[in-house]
Amino acid sequence: MDLLELHDIADTLVGFIGINGLTVEQAKRLTIGVELVANPSVLFLDEPTSGLDSRAADIVVRGIRNIAGTGRSTICTIHQPSRRLFFAFDWLYLMKRGGEVVYFGPIGHNGCDLLINYTTIPGFASRQGLIYVALVFVAVVNANNVIPQMPYLALTTLIFCSICFGMAGVATGSASDFFLFWVNFFLYSACITYYGIFMAMLTPNAE
């Protein structure tokens, strides 16, 4: 009860989650508490903050930190954590699509250990190198979002070139001219798409 701050809802019926009973955040904390009753040596939590706003996510993660403070190993899977949630954990196991490991090691206070591990690599000791580390993380994750869309992008650009530019009489002199024009247009569209998603991930709060 103390670890998960459940005293305020100790006498509350679970009811229908989010309707006339516990909120989603309270239900998540209750579920974690039910798992703790079995006294597991390792606690596995699959996306405990999904579907929560920032305040509710902070409350849940604070409870998880309290559990970890008792010496119990706690493993969580979290997608797109905020800066505050990210630094609430001690170790990071970052994976990209396909199960490939991008980073595995300690995070440290405000990410200090994470940066120190990369500053040992030649060329990363400068300020520009530290900025490059963050960009590499974003670029690797961003590439996994763009690559699966390449076949769709190739098809749409081919149709676009066939209809629109064909009607305008551009690059219709020969099949080779049209093919080269389409390849250039496809590569240009792919670069613009990648850059757009990349910038959106770098500045998520920009309007």
Domain boundaries, the chain: 7-89, 111-207
Look at the pTM and tell me if it is higher than 0.85. Answer: no
- Divide the 207 residues of the chain into consecutive groups of 10 and give the mean pLDDT of each group: 79 70 82 86 87 83 87 86 80 81 80 69 56 66 71 88 72 74 87 77 61
Give pLDDT tens digits for 137-175.
666 666 666 677 788 888 988 888 888 776 766 656 677
Give pLDDT tens digits for 82-96.
777 888 888 888 887
Q: By C-alpha distance, which of 140, 155, 139 is closest to 189?
A: 155
Measured at the CA of 65, the angle between CA 19 and CA 117, to 5 degrees, comes to: 130
CA distances from 141 to 82, 133, 197 (A): 16, 13, 10
| The predicted structure's pLDDT at residue 108 | 79
